[in-house]
Structure 1
Amino acid sequence: MTEWVVQAEKLDKLFDDKQGKVHALKDIDFRAEKGKMTALIGPDGAGKTTTMRLICGLMDPTGGSLQVLGLDSVAGAEEIQSRISYMPQKFGLYEDLTIQENLDLYADLHGIPQDTRKGRFAKLLDMTGLAPFTGRLAGKLSGGMKQKLGLACTLVRSPDLLILDEPTVGVDPLSRDELWIIIKQMVREENLSVIVCTAYMNEAAMCDHVYVLNLGQMLFEGTPQELSQVAAGKCFEVDPPEELPYRVLQGSLLDDTEQIIDAVPESGTVRYIAARPGDPIPTLERWSLRPRAVDPRLEDGFMILLHQAADLEKTRIPLAPLDKIPPRPAQNEVSIEVKDLVKKFGDFTAVSHTSFQVHKGEVFGLLGPNGAGKTTTFRMLCGLIPATGGKLSVAGENLRTARTEARAKIGYVSQKFALYTKLSVLENLQFYGGMYGLPRKKLQERIRTVLEEFQLTGTESHNAGDLPGGYKQRLSMACALLQEPEILFLDEPTSGIDPLARRMFWREITDLSCKGTTIIITTHFMEESEYCDRIMIQDHGKMLIIGSTDEIREKLHKPGANMDAMFIDIVNQSRARGEGAAK
């Protein structure tokens, strides 16, 4: 007989906001089996985190029933919380405490007996690879190491149910791979029951059962294989013509809204989902391209469900059609020149003698594991921190002598939402326009333009902090583009954003690059590197490789390899040679 750790029937959750009562969840049925991994996926605002918090007893349902570990989620909330472990998106590590002190603190909070701690800590530290660093302050750890420590602190006791709310958001592929090895080992060794919310579809595919949630309603429940079969017979791949960037072919396919459900660059091709297989597709006819049928994946089924549920006319931003091959950026003038760049913090070298160029209209990706030096490189390019040595020229300005002039030519979108949450959409735009020194008449004109371009018209009076994640991203982009910068810096802009929103975002980036804007981007979604003209992978402050994804595949003799696998291979081979290791 199946034993359930969670059973929800007709579950409702209502919230009050300025517009009245809003259904965060409506008539949800959800079950999680003991000893299994259950995934909960869906776009921003779907109700995933609300579901997690209800299961944890952190809030009460408005209607329906919810049983957790055989207990009513309201009447038994205190006992439920004593038997589960919950790792939220932002796990509360104490950065001024060491790794060992954090473990001790969480063991104290959970009342773990002293005689069981030594063995438990040893197991967790060995599994996470943190054993050599127990005396290091948590604030000095890389992002991947922080996530591992967060998981270890969550597991200081062996819970009856482990709940993970996007545990790998903002974490590089190497660290994500290591985290999932740990999770699967705990499931295997301790018969651990896991509910995980994730933005990575390949992580959902590792689970035993998958639920798809959208706007508070359940769209699907079944196995990963059953979700994949939603897209059976509709998936194809096509090779772009020579000189056509993957992102332009992908964007052009997305513009064929009647024929195409989804399109994404992948492993040296462009993969797409046809609404009606066999119907002519304008983009394929324009460039005389011949598609090949491919097997469906979980993500394909997920995208079909979202496409069916979404009001795409409200989510798509009208852009110029991509119907011609743009000039190769390598033929354009140099926008950024880096020669022998060095950055030291005391005795620590964060960036070591790096050199490269970026051309006007190029999309250039800075990739690397957490703690590899890419963020430091990125901040030097933006003029946010000075270089210790070397030459750095941005938009024709020397950053040593003309940092202010260079900043006037660049836009910047940070990983974390950095606008003023208590100000309205319009007030944020007015503030940033003033910061850029735009004359009043020009600013009013630009505000009207970006509100229309990013479909923010009608949200002017809404507080920025109240916007859904996708709209916050649009507002960040709108503010960064007010001054029409020559170069746009994007620091992990799609971190934690669902696949549908990521597709729309990259269609906007493709449009900007075709207009001549230079884009510098960091990302932990390795498939997004396929959108870039070139990428650079760093580790331990050193450049490991640079080139287009096709050039890197050719250099590694791995035609058709996906970028996740190539990234892990490049970093691991470098570390094996002793060239870099995240310390």
Structure 2
Amino acid sequence: MKPAANAIDTTTALNFQDVGKSFLAGQRRISALQNVSLHLRGGVTALVGPDGAGKTTLLRLAAGLLLPDSGKVESFGLNTADDGDSLHTLSGYMPQRFGLYEDLSVLENLNLYADLHGMDRLERQQRFDELMRMTGLAKFTERLAGRLSGGMKQKLGLACTLVNRPRLLLLDEASVGVDPVSRRELWHIIETLVRDFAATVLLSTAYMDEAERCDHVILLDQGRILRQGSPAEFHALTAGRGFILSSPVLSNRIVQQRAVTLPGAIDAVVQGEAVRILLRPEAKPDWQACFSETDRLHSQAASPRLEDAFIMLLQAQRPLEKMPPPICVTALDNATPTCFANQPAIIEVDAVDRWFGEFQAVKKLSFRVCQGEIFGLLGANGAGKTTTFRMLCGLLPASNGKLSVAGVDLRRAAAKARSRLGYMSQKFSLYGQLSVRQNLEFFSHAYGLRNQHRRQRIAWALEQFDLQAFADVNSTDLALGYKQRLALACALMHEPAILFLDEPTSGIDPLARREFWTRINQLAGQGVTILVTTHFMEEAEYCDRLLIMREGDILAAGTPAEIKRLGIAADQAPADNMEEAFIRLVETGEAAPL
């Protein structure tokens, strides 16, 4: 029965009262949410928290796709348990994997969702025109959804969600896997909805810089709200506790490794040309504990940020675990690379082309990577990064040019080269119906490990990545952070000299991201060469050198510091961060194909 019009509360978009929700997992009942209460009324609210905190469950409850076990969920005064049909006309929900039909065109996808909402022909035409202008897809209505770039797919997914002009918009990790330019465009759409149509937006995000842009932030952990408030209120929790450390004689990696061991240190992470450290409230800066006068350490106060509060609150909730143990890569224990400019190249790319029919995905690409270097490949969606990766892994032949990996010509001995490298794909190439142990057994066998050596490496992986407790759990049931650990362990089973990482931290929270990069820095320190693609620009700061691609060609190359000095006008200062530098360079270059 449809509720009366006066039952609709025009001010309160979402109200949770002591909401609880649990699920059965095998023989166990897992509590996803516990006594959650929140009240949203306009603006943009960020939902943040570590993997498995309950963010997706909360959003699905808000959308009426799940019903609470206890408590009450209301939207605009309507109870989701009783008025689901009416609420679906007032809200829009975009899940992490939005259901676009890739064999349908942009316009056909929009028509499908308009049909679901019962829109008439005149109404939908006006709405489509508005959505196409808002998303910048007006020129691509006849293109198949499967042929859109990642950023354009996200914008089409958002347009389909907005067909019925929802008053409450629920977004689950909407910007994961898209480049900074596309991410900025998604945010422009969100801000337009709030400003021009008074929409209320609740979005989950793994990126703290996105949460900084919101009016309100909810930090969720283990199904409970740890804290909620404005970004400024979160900043106040760590005011005066952050410092920026730099040294003209020590690398950022060494400064970070020492800083994290300082008395009272909560967190230490590379930030630009320096290292950002966060201290506990009672701790006083004691740089001499880990640095000498010859290190010429410079320190200055850092402005508080939301990510600092995120780390501090979560570590107070679950005391800081020990750092990952050193990773042993026996074949490279004696590697001690110093200056990359003087090192021989372990990866060489010379005038490489790759054609797909009449489309040229990679154009005369040339670069070199040295042993022990962390080399970053950046670029907008569709720039050619993944194609380049697949060619370097021997999974895709080059149309022209020369590719050499670990001294092996990929055109002549791709199989031999593959035995020297490990690959961790963007979507985690794990077998979901196999357990953790079975995945390790499969990959170790695929890499040619046998008998005692194979058993030793499996035992090493389970211990090294703290996977013993999950050895018999199917990988599809692992939290995202543990899937990432398992994927990295599988890639390292045969102790490769080169490790390829294709957007390895997409969607994982800052705590898991820090653990991952601790391991990567250990590997690089032991001489393993790392080639990584990422859309998360703070991670680009961790690389020794970067190459930014556009339309399959090189737009810019250099160290992070050099990249931030490129693409600026005479009256401009260097970019403050890598995201700003990336957007400047991409927008000042020639128009990229969409």
TM-score by length of 1: 0.95
CA deviations 1:133-183 (Å, max 9, x no partner) are 111111000000101111111111211211011100001000000110111
CA–CA distance in structure 1, aligned partners of residues 204 and 593 of structure 2: 27
**Percent identity of equivalent pairs:** 49
Q: Check whether the contact 1:379–1:385 (CA below 8 A) recurs between aligned residues.
A: yes
More displaced stretch, 455-464 vs 274-283 = 274-283
CA–CA distance in structure 2, aligned partners of residues 346 and 250 of structure 1: 47
CA–CA distance in structure 1, aligned partners of residues 488 and 419 of structure 2: 16
Instruction: Give the CA deviation at 1:207.
Output: 1.3
Instruction: Tell me the residue number matched to 2:286.
Output: 280
Instruction: Give the CA deviation at 1:250.
Output: 2.3
Instruction: Tell me the residue number matched to 1:245.
Output: 251
Query: How do 1:199-348 residues align onto structure 2 when only pairs under 5 Å count?
Result: 199-242=206-249, 244-256=250-262, 258-275=263-280, 276-281=282-287, 282-285=289-292, 287-313=295-321, 316-319=323-326, 327-348=338-359
Instruction: Tell me the residue number matched to 1:569.
Output: 584
CA–CA distance in structure 2, aligned partners of residues 121 and 285 of structure 1: 64
CA–CA distance in structure 1, aligned partners of residues 264 and 71 of structure 2: 40
Instruction: Tell me the residue number matched to 2:389.
Output: 378
Instruction: Give the CA deviation at 1:299.
Output: 1.5
Instruction: Tell me the residue number matched to 1:364.
Output: 375
CA–CA distance in structure 1, aligned partners of residues 528 and 384 of structure 2: 25
- SS of match in other structure, 2:125: helix
- SS of match in other structure, 1:531: coil
CA deviations 1:419-453 (Å, max 9, x no partner) are 11111111111111110111211111111112221
Instruction: Tell me the residue number matched to 1:68.
Output: 75
CA deviations 1:82-115 (Å, max 9, x no partner) are 3211011111111011111111111111112211
- SS of match in other structure, 1:203: helix
- What letter matches 2:19 in structure 1? L
Instruction: Give the CA deviation at 1:559.
Output: 4.0
Q: Check whether the contact 1:48–1:197 (CA below 8 A) recurs between aligned residues.
A: yes
CA–CA distance in structure 2, aligned partners of residues 339 and 215 of structure 1: 50
More displaced stretch, 121-130 vs 18-27 = 18-27
- What letter matches 2:313 in structure 1? L
CA deviations 1:349-382 (Å, max 9, x no partner) are 1010010000011000000000111111111111
Structure 2 gap segments, 5+ residues each: 1-8, 329-335
CA–CA distance in structure 2, aligned partners of residues 2 and 221 of structure 1: 23
Asked if 1:464 corresponds to 2:475, the answer is: yes
Q: Check whether the contact 2:151–2:381 (CA below 8 A) recurs between aligned residues.
A: yes
Instruction: Give the CA deviation at 1:338.
Output: 0.4
CA–CA distance in structure 2, aligned partners of residues 296 and 248 of structure 1: 24
Distance 1:213 1:362, change over 3 A: same
CA–CA distance in structure 2, aligned partners of residues 382 and 571 of structure 1: 27
RMSD: 1.9
Q: Check whether the contact 1:417–1:473 (CA below 8 A) recurs between aligned residues.
A: yes
More displaced stretch, 60-69 vs 475-484 = 60-69
Instruction: Tell me the residue number matched to 1:18.
Output: 26
CA–CA distance in structure 1, aligned partners of residues 72 and 111 of structure 2: 36
CA deviations 1:209-256 (Å, max 9, x no partner) are 1100011111111111111111111111112333x4323422432344
Q: Check whether the contact 2:565–2:575 (CA below 8 A) recurs between aligned residues.
A: no
- What letter matches 2:252 in structure 1? Y
CA deviations 1:65-90 (Å, max 9, x no partner) are 22122111212222212321101111
CA–CA distance in structure 1, aligned partners of residues 575 and 118 of structure 2: 51
- SS of match in other structure, 2:443: helix
Instruction: Give the CA deviation at 1:300.
Output: 1.5
Instruction: Give the CA deviation at 1:319.
Output: 2.8
Instruction: Tell me the residue number matched to 1:154.
Output: 161
Instruction: Tell me the residue number matched to 2:444.
Output: 433
CA–CA distance in structure 2, aligned partners of residues 428 and 129 of structure 1: 42
Instruction: Tell me the residue number matched to 1:517.
Output: 528
Q: Check whether the contact 2:566–2:581 (CA below 8 A) recurs between aligned residues.
A: no
- What letter matches 1:494 in structure 2? T
TM-score by length of 2: 0.93
- What letter matches 1:95 in structure 2? E
Distance 1:201 1:450, change over 3 A: same
Q: Check whether the contact 1:233–1:277 (CA below 8 A) recurs between aligned residues.
A: no
CA–CA distance in structure 1, aligned partners of residues 261 and 525 of structure 2: 15
- What letter matches 2:97 in structure 1? K
Structure 1 gap segments, 5+ residues each: none
Asked if 1:193 corresponds to 2:200, the answer is: yes
CA–CA distance in structure 1, aligned partners of residues 491 and 506 of structure 2: 18
Equivalent residues, number: 573
